[in-house]
Structure 1
């Protein structure tokens, strides 16, 4: 199949690269052509805008930073995609918004899949990220080879909207864990423990988590470089709060975590790394969480 891929940010560029490595024909488009250069060198075609990218494609994939961006781009794709084509939304989006856009697509006989990813940018780079899919089973099967090229584990969660919900749940948990990670490491430091040894002890204990094993490392390095911003974290936590209200679930920990992330964004700016939420504690105590031997970036 020929895929159009729109949105070549930290995630999108890696996902499109995985499609190319698997032998798919890919036409890419982004507001910044420089992001496409490695993909063009690997064999991708370039399109100046989303509509042009979709014109010859069997399916169009979007991986964009906000629901507003998806709302602007998706109708352009629908104008150019042929009847029987598919739109695959890989952005983190709200279920209601995906459903609204899917209705626009269906009016033109275009199918929709939602396929947000989770597991970190470093896993997208190696094609091992988890892909969470919502939509009709037949449409999912038609695009399974492409989805499996981009991800290590591909989970069909159910109908449209189910993937949006589980993606927000996984991110909500990660952000709660991230705040807890900062508190745990600071408690270890203020208690006089060697932070490298504390890291290994937590990793080998019942307190371990994916966030500890990954984001804990770049915190201890001091780079904080996880490829995910405070703006994106605040957006996802707002999605979680919305689901909590609509489904009648009191999200106390998520609410506290959301407030912490909002304070971090106000302090460090929306484009700061999401891991810099722990700097609130570092700055408050005048004590940095650092240890030798940890990487500046995660690679696998």
Structure 2
């Protein structure tokens, strides 16, 4: 089965590479052709446009930065898509977005499955990211081998739209944990503790989290290089706040963290690393959170 893959950025490039590594035939395209060079060396086929890609594949995967980009790319490949083709959307969209766009795809006789991923770019590079799928169970089972090539924990969350909800929930928690971890590390630093030892102690405690154990290292290095931007964080937090209103759940912590990220974007720009949100506290107190021996990027 040939998979078309559109979007070779920080995340998509690794997901496409995982498919190639596991022996899948992959046709690629991206607005930046340079991003596909390493994949071509591994046997991928290049298509100049999403429409050209759609003529060569029965399954088209997209991994793109925003709902607006997804919608624009969908409009490019749908007219050329084969009747009965499957579109797998691996970007993080709102539930209303994926349901609306699935209706558009259905008008072109294209079926839709959502499969956003979570765990970070470093796990995508290892083929160990978590895949959160939503949609028809028969389609899920048909493409489960491809999901297993890209990730090691695969969840079928239910009908279309359900994966969008859980993905936003996981990201909301990650951003809350990130702000909390910055505050915890700053307390340790201002109390005169060795930050490396403090990080280790927290990691071995009931207060640890996935974010502390991963992004916490990038904070201590000072690179903050998690390959995820302030703009993307605010997009996902916006989805979370929308779900809170829709389902009648007061999201007090998420609301505070959303405000913090608004300040972070104002201070450092929308393209800044989301992990730089901790720098707000460092700059306010003129106290850095550096410790030796921590990586610039997660492997």
**TM (normalized to structure 2)?**
0.99
Within 5 Å, which residues of 2 pair with 1:102-113?
102-113=102-113
- Tell whether 2:259 aligns with 1:259: yes
Question: How many Å apart are 1:22 and its aligned residue?
Answer: 1.1
Matched with 1:98 is: 98
Q: Contact 1:60/1:77 (CA < 8 Å) preserved in 2?
A: no
State the shift of 1:65 in Å: 0.2
User: What do residues 56-87 of structure 1 show as CA deviations (whole Å, max 9, x unaligned)?
Assistant: 10100000000000010112222122111100
- Structure 2 equivalent of residue 12 of structure 1: 12
2:73 counterpart of 1:69:
no
Q: CA deviation at 1:54?
A: 1.2
Partner of 1:284: 284
Number of the residue aligned with 2:181: 181
1:59–1:81 CA contact under 8 A, matched in 2: no
Corresponding residue of 2:81:
81
**2-side partners of 1:78 and 1:140: how far apart?**
21
Partner of 1:32: 32
Q: How many residues get paired?
A: 299
Unaligned runs of 5+ in 2: none
Quick one: distance in 1 between partners of 2:279 and 2:58? 46
Residue of structure 2 in register with 1:145 after alignment: 145
Q: Which residue of 2 is the match for residue 218 of structure 1? A: 218
Match of 1:129 in 2: 129
Is 2:190 the partner of 1:190? Answer: yes
Q: Does 1:202 align with 2:196?
A: no
Which of structure 1's runs of 4+ aligned residues deviate more than 4 A?
none
Q: Deviations over 1:88-131 (max 9, x none)?
A: 00000011111111111112221110000000000000000000
Paired residue for 1:22?
A: 22
Deviations for 1:155-204, whole angstroms, at most 9, x for unmatched residues?
Answer: 00000000000000000000000000000000000000000000011001
> What is the CA–CA distance in structure 2 between the aligned matches of 1:182 and 1:292, rounded to whole Å?
17
Q: What's 2:43 paired with?
A: 43
Asked if the contact 1:189–1:289 (Cα under 8 Å) also holds between the matched residues in 2, the reply is yes
Find the residue that maps to 1:158 and give its secondary structure. coil
Which residue number corresponds to residue 117 of structure 1?
117
Q: What are the superposed Cα offsets for residues 232-278 of structure 1, whole Å, 9 maximum, x if unpaired? A: 00110011011111111110000000000010011001111000000
Give the secondary-structure state (helix, strand or coil) at the position aligned to 2:157.
Answer: strand
Distance 1:292 1:257 in 2: 28
**1:24 & 1:107 partners in 2: Cα distance?**
28
Whole-angstrom CA distance in 1 between matches of 2:91 and 2:147: 14
Q: Which residue of 1 aligns with 2:2?
A: 2
Residue by residue, what CA displacement relative to the aligned partner does 1:138-163 show, whole Å, maximum 9, x if unpaired?
A: 01011111111111111000000000
* SS of 1:152 mapped into structure 2: strand
Contact kept? 1:179, 1:257, Cα under 8 Å:
yes
Unaligned runs of 5+ in 1: none
Q: CA RMSD in A?
A: 0.7
Say whether the 8 Å CA contact 1:219–1:290 is kept in structure 2. yes
